[in-house]
Homo-oligomer: A and B are copies of this chain.
């Protein structure tokens, strides 16, 4: 079946359209109640609350049920991912898939119809569920459209309980700053959250907050009146608002579980389905045939093959540009800034922006200044709002853009771990580059020393993790990250350093050196064991190598800049050389040492093995002093290695 298309040139709906929407509501309400009762779980209340608005919205926006990935479509982001029964009902009504697929598959493992909306459902744009992030996602899409000069719109559905999440305040401010007038937020104001009324649980002036953040606010007294909603939505969509350069929020008063008398306004129906008796009563009230048993029977069959869409990765063809070679002393973050600038020069040409950059009040520290100057239309200063920036950047990266996000390690990794997790689930192409990792941060002390970047990033499934050893390797790593689709984390220290040299005294990672994900680099070969390392402590390892060599101990040095994926074969090879010592500016239990240990144990190897890393929070002081205090300086490494001989 195909849903009606509403003409935005009309100022209001026709009576035929109103009647048709009422009929569609009935059909969709049935699906909402039936699907959740069949699954014995799910969220009928909010689904019935948003339903009328959702039906009108899909009648107004540009979309194509026959080609859900059509590039010209508007985007609907359901920040309230739990209203999946409502969304799937409306998408089915619009012909994206069959009702039967939805009703037989809903909330069954392996089906294409999960409990919170996911992109495996045709028509769904983003996997959501953790409240408070959806607006940032929508902002990212709206920002990408602006960057491309497209007039596509982004519609974001939000709950009212959800408004309590602080990240939303960040996203509001950003959308105001960047004049995202192609963004429309609909707040489903049913005044109910899980534990009671929004007023009792945590009172919030929704309209007041949007207003104080510069938005247009349109208030609608009944979100179930399709004609009223159409008139309001139309104004927002056509830009018929007071501040035409600003985004618009529609605060629509609605009712939790609208349409079923004994469910209305009860918080329990936020997340509880009707049992079979209640469902029968509800269907009777709605004048619907109760075909629960038929569908329950159908659900006994093995779940239909997952309808997962072929994951269309829209990623631009990126030129890696010309590598830059470093010889004297510099810091990795300058090499990052130079590489990013050179990528902009090579790719952001003719008004097409393939590379975007985001930072959070640290442009100078993360060396994005040259990029900013070259591509002002692709650089976004997000303020001290890392949660928003991370979610937004990942959304931009799904729109044919290599999006780089840079700040210190504690902010890029630790602070936004869950935002990056949702991006990981969403298979984005996000390039997170943290410039201040580890004890190498120095004087700013433990709150600023991120020593968990591997320990955290390894909990994802779709983030590569690269940790270059010097500016030359940084240059190559950044270009690799830019050229390939997918999520990448690149971490580096803060300090200036000399280049890592090959045996012949030339820069090891300069010249024709190629960085290959999943491949370690034997900077030195040795027969007396191996030190495996990466990042800011590599110079200390080289110093230890020299001292050991001077004492007649020829140890190998394996630099493992690609930590995910990791070079298992090289580690197995290292074990064959003798004792293996890992050295890292990272929590000793969760970094490279833990990875190497796993490979040793997984392969049933017997090894003399030690891990050097950060064993307690660092102090505030010079990196050299902090390293010495935790045996991560040259002397500490030598001493530890010799204990293994």
Contacts and interface: CB of A to CB of B under 8 A. Distances in A.
Contacts of A616: 461
A622 interface: yes
A109 B625 contact: yes
Interface size class of A (residues with CB under 8 A): 35 or more
A522 interface: no
B166 A166 contact: yes
B447 A130 contact: yes
A470 interface: no
Given A201-B383, A604-B607, A616-B461, A128 B164 contact: no
Contact of A166 (B388, B421, B442): B388
Contacts of A621: 107-111
Contact of A617 (B167, B448, B456, B461): B461
B201 A205 contact: no
Interface string A156-175: 00000110111111100110
B604 A609 contact: yes
Interface string A430-470: 00000000000011111110011001101101000000000
Given A384-B193, A611-B602, A629 B110 contact: yes
A629 B110 CA distance: 9
Contact of A173 (B115, B204, B212, B594): B204
A368 to B, nearest CB: 10
A608 interface: yes
B448 A459 contact: no
A125 interface: no
Interface in A364-402: 364-365, 381-385, 387-388
Interface string A577-621: 000000000010110011011101110111111110000110111
A490 interface: no
A447 B127 contact: yes
A68 interface: no
A190 to B, nearest CB: 14
Contacts of A600: 597, 600-601
Contact of A459 (B176, B443, B451, B604): B451
Interface in A73-87: 81-82
Given A195-B381, A446-B127, A447-B130, A109 B202 contact: no
A357 interface: no
A138 interface: no
A431 to B, nearest CB: 21
A158 to B, nearest CB: 12
A361 interface: yes
B115 A443 contact: yes
A229 to B, nearest CB: 25
A177 interface: yes
Given A107-B621, A173-B204, 9 more contacts: A107-B620, A111-B620, A115-B620, A195-B362, A202-B381, A414-B421, A425-B617, A458-B587, A597-B597
Interface of A: 39, 41-42, 81-82, 107-111, 113-116, 118, 127-132, 161-162, 164-170, 173-174, 176-177, 193-195, 201-205, 208-209, 212-214, 361-365, 381-385, 387-388, 410-411, 414-415, 417-418, 421-422, 425, 442-448, 451-452, 455-456, 458-459, 461, 587, 589-590, 593-594, 596-598, 600-602, 604-611, 616-617, 619-622, 625-626, 629
Give the 6 A-B CB pairs with smallest separation, nearest first: A109-B621, A202-B383, A166-B166, A129-B447, A114-B620, A109-B625
29 contacts: A108-B620, A108-B625, A110-B619, A111-B621, A115-B443, A130-B410, A161-B361, A161-B384, A164-B170, A164-B173, A165-B384, A166-B170, A166-B385, A194-B362, A201-B361, A201-B381, A202-B382, A202-B383, A415-B418, A425-B446, A425-B447, A456-B456, A458-B589, A459-B587, A461-B616, A589-B598, A597-B598, A598-B598, A601-B609
